[in-house]
Amino acid sequence: MREEAVMNAQAIERHLKRMALEIHERAQGGELAIVGIRRGGVHLAKRLGHELALATGREAPLGTLDIALYRDDLSERASAPVVGPTDIKFSVSGKTILLVDDVLYTGRTVRAALDELVDFGRPRRVLLAVLIDRGGRELPIAPDVVGARLEVPEPEQVEVRLTEEGAKGDEVIVKSRGPA
Amino acid sequence: MIGRHRHLIGLEDLSREEILQILTLSTSMKEVLRRPLKKVPTLRGKAIVNLFFEASTRTRTSFETAAKILSADAVNWTAATSSVSKGETLLDTARNIEAMRPDVLVIRHPAGGAPGFIAARVACAVVSAGDGAHEHPSQGLLDLYTLAEHLTRVGGAPPQAPPDFDTLAGKTVTIVGDVTHSRVARSNLHGLTKLGAKVRVCGPPTMIPPGIEALGASVHYHLRPAVEGADAVMMLRIQHERIGDPLLPGTREYSKVWGLNERKVKEWLKPSCAILHPGPINRGVELSPEVADGPQSVILEQVENGVAVRMAILYLVSGGAPDQSTEGAARA
C-alpha cells in the first residue's frame, strides 16, 4: 500500500476558511444548522461551525447523522454495518441544513443522509459541503461547497486524517496499491 | 450475523464481545425509537414471522414493534389459532412457514430446545423468544441493557450519556423467585457473569436447581442476606400453575418470605438498588404495588429497552449471510 499526502494542515485550514465564507454567502436569509455525516464529516462540521461563528457572530446548532440504517446494501454485505449514534436535538423543519462530509465519492452516503434527514422534518433547503470531491459519482448528486476537487482512479482511496481522531497532524492522503 | 452466529438461541452460546455488539447497537436503536418519526428503512423487504406456541403479548408485541420500526414486514402466527391444534408437528409447521420465504423466524415454544431444533433445519435466521425453562435471550439482553443504564446513571454520568456496559463488572445482582423454571434467570445468569457481575440467586429451596453454583451464582434461601448490598434485584414472576403444587404452598406465604414490600426495600436495599421484573407482575405476590411503582423500579425502562434490543437483534441476524463477499462494502 502506497500513501501520498495531497493536502497538509495549512491547506486544509485555508480551504475550510474559504468554505465557511462561501457557505455564509449561500445560506443568507435562512436559519442555518450544521449536520456532520459520521464519521468523517463530524469533526469537519464542528470546524466549519466554528469558522462560521467567527464570520457571522452566531453559533449554528450542530448535529450528527449516522447513515448505517439507511444504507442500500444491507443484503449484499457479509455482516451488518456498524451503526453509530445519530444526534439531532434541534428541529430541522424550515431551516437551511448544511450537510458536511469529508470525501464525496459515489454519492450513496449523501443519498442515505438526505433520506434520513427528511425523516427528522422538512428543511427549507439542504446544502452539501465536502472537503474533497474525488469524482466517481454513481448517483446524480453534486456538492454546493467544495474544498478541493481531485481526480482519483477507482481502486485508490482518499483519506482525511484529523487530529481530533488521533492523527499527529491534519492531512489528506491518497492510498494506492503499488510499489512502496 | 451476531459475531459468528447466524441465529440467537441463548446467551450461553455468545461471547462477551458478541453480547457487547448487540448492547452497543441497542443504544443507536433506542435513539431511533425516540425520534418523532419512528421509522427507518433498514429492513425494507425483509419478512419476519413471529411463531408463538405459547401465549405472550409483551414479547410478541415488542418483536413486532421492533420489526415495524425497521420497516420489515412482521407476520404473527399463534399456536392457539393454528394447525398445531390440528396435530401438525413442530418441524412440519416450521417447514411450511419456511416455504413462505421469511428472512427471520422468531420462535417462542414451551419446550426447551425447540428454537435450536428448528434453527438446524431451516435456511432463515432463527431468534428464540423464550423456550421452556431453557433461555429467553432477548429478555436477558434487555435486562443487561437496563442494568447498565441504571448503573451508569448511579455512577454520576450526565443524563444524556449512553450506558457504559463496563459498569456491570464487579456489581452484585440478585435474582429472586422460581429460578428452576425460569428461562429469564438462566439467560441473565449467562449474560451477567460474562459481563463480570456477581450473581446471587434466592428463593424457596424447592425452586433453586441443584448445581446452579456451577454457572457462577451464589445461593441464598433467605431474602434479607440475598438483597443486602446488592446493586440490583430482579424479581421473577411466580407462575400461577406452580401454586398449590408441592413446590409452593400459597401466594401469601411466598409474598411474606420472598416478596418485596416497601418496608423491606427501605430497610434492606441500598437506596441506589434498582428493582427489575420481566413482567407481567403479580401485584402483591413478588412485588407490592408501592414497590412496583416506586422510585427504584426500572420495570418500564425494561419494556422500552426491550424494543431497542430486539431492533438490534433483528438488524444483526438480517444482515448478510455467512458466505457472501465483503467486496465493495467500503465504497461510500
Evaluate the CA torsion angle B97, B103, B109, B111 in order and state its sign.
Answer: positive
Q: Across-strand partners of B78?
A: B52
Closest CA to B259 of B229, B298, B231, B226: B226
Instruction: Examine the domain organization and report whether B263 and B166 are in the same domain.
Output: yes
What is each CA distance from B185 to B95, B150, B296, in whole angstroms? 31, 19, 20
Q: What is the pLDDT of residue B321?
A: 52
Query: Residue B19: which domain range?
Result: 11-134+305-318
B104 lies in some domain:
yes
Residue B184 CA neighbour count, 13 Å, CB half:
21
B328 lies in some domain:
no
Evaluate the CA torsion angle B121, B125, B130, B135 in order and state its sign.
Answer: positive
* Inter-residue contact A134 to A148 (CB < 8 Å): no
pLDDT beyond 80 at B322: no
Comparing A29 with B256, which gets the higher pLDDT? B256
The cell numbers describing A89, all together, are 436535538
Instruction: Examine the domain organization and report whether B222 and B156 are in the same domain.
Output: yes
Give the pLDDT mean for B15-29. Answer: 97
- Distance between A59 CA and the closest CA of chain B, angstroms: 22
ipTM: 0.81
pLDDT beyond 90 at B221: yes
> Tens digit of pLDDT for each residue in A74-124?
777 777 888 888 999 999 999 999 999 999 999 999 999 999 999 999 999
Can you say how many angstroms the Cα of residue A154 is from the centroid of all Cα atoms in its chain? 20
Reported confidence tier of residue B320, pLDDT bands at 50, 70, 90? low
Instruction: Examine the domain organization and report whether B171 and B118 are in the same domain.
Output: no
Q: What is the pLDDT of residue B83?
A: 62
pLDDT beyond 70 at B332: no
Return the H-helix or E-strand segment holding B183: helix B183-194
Q: For residue A77, give the nearest of B32, B41, B329 by CB distance.
A: B329
B327 lies in some domain:
no
> Tell me, what DSSP letter sits at residue A170?
-
Instruction: Examine the domain organization and report whether B191 and B290 are in the same domain.
Output: yes
Count up the domains in chain B and report the number: 2
Give the pLDDT mean for B9-38. Answer: 96
The pTM for the full model equals: 0.90
Residue B1 near chain A (CB below 8 Å): yes
User: Domain of B84: which CATH number?
Assistant: 3.40.50.1370
Instruction: Examine the domain organization and report whether B152 and B267 are in the same domain.
Output: yes
Instruction: Examine the domain organization and report whether B216 and B252 are in the same domain.
Output: yes
Listed by start position, the domains of chain A span 2-69+85-176
Residue B316 near chain A (CB below 8 Å): yes
B83 lies in some domain:
yes
Query: For A2-69+85-176, which CATH class?
Result: alpha beta
How many helices (DSSP H) and strands (DSSP E) are in chain B?
11, 9
Kindly determine whether residue A76 and residue B41, on different chains, have CB atoms separated by under 8 Å: no
Best of B2, B18, B315 to substitute, by most chain A Cβ atoms within 10 angstroms, is B315
Best of A64, A79, A132, A134 to substitute, by most chain B Cβ atoms within 10 angstroms, is A79
- Which residues in chain A are closer than 8 Å to B325, comparing Cβ atoms? 78
- Sequence-distant (6+) residues with CB within 8 A of A10 are none
Q: What is the pLDDT of residue B324?
A: 40
Instruction: Examine the domain organization and report whether B149 and B254 are in the same domain.
Output: yes
pLDDT beyond 60 at B330: no
Pairing of strands A171-176, B232-235: unpaired
Kindly determine whether residue A79 and residue B28, on different chains, have CB atoms separated by under 8 Å: no
Instruction: Examine the domain organization and report whether B164 and B297 are in the same domain.
Output: yes
Q: How far apart are CA A3 and CA B92, in angstroms?
A: 58
Q: What is the pLDDT of residue B325?
A: 38
* DSSP assignment string, B274-319: EEE--S---BTTTB-HHHHTSTTB-HHHHHHHHHHHHHHHHHHHHS
> Tens digit of pLDDT for each residue in B108-145?
999 999 999 999 999 999 999 999 999 999 999 999 99
Comparing B165 with B249, which gets the higher pLDDT? B165
Give the pLDDT mean for A147-174. Answer: 93
Q: How far apart are CA B212 and CA B217, in angstroms?
A: 6
Q: How far apart are CA B79 and CA B191, in angstroms?
A: 30
Kindly determine whether residue A66 and residue B316, on different chains, have CB atoms separated by under 8 Å: no
Give the pLDDT mean for B32-44. Answer: 93
Instruction: Examine the domain organization and report whether B145 and B111 are in the same domain.
Output: no
Note which residues in 136-195 of chain B have CB less than 8 A from chain A. 162
- Distance between B214 CA and the closest CA of chain A, angstroms: 34
> Tens digit of pLDDT for each residue in A14-51?
999 999 999 999 988 889 999 999 989 999 999 999 99
B326 lies in some domain:
no
Instruction: Examine the domain organization and report whether B172 and B267 are in the same domain.
Output: yes
The cell numbers describing B100, all together, are 413462505
Q: For residue A78, give the nearest of B28, B40, B325 by CB distance.
A: B325
Reported confidence tier of residue A179, pLDDT bands at 50, 70, 90? low
Helices (H), chain A: 9-26, 40-56, 108-118
Instruction: Examine the domain organization and report whether B97 and B149 are in the same domain.
Output: no
Q: For chain A, what's the residue count? A: 180
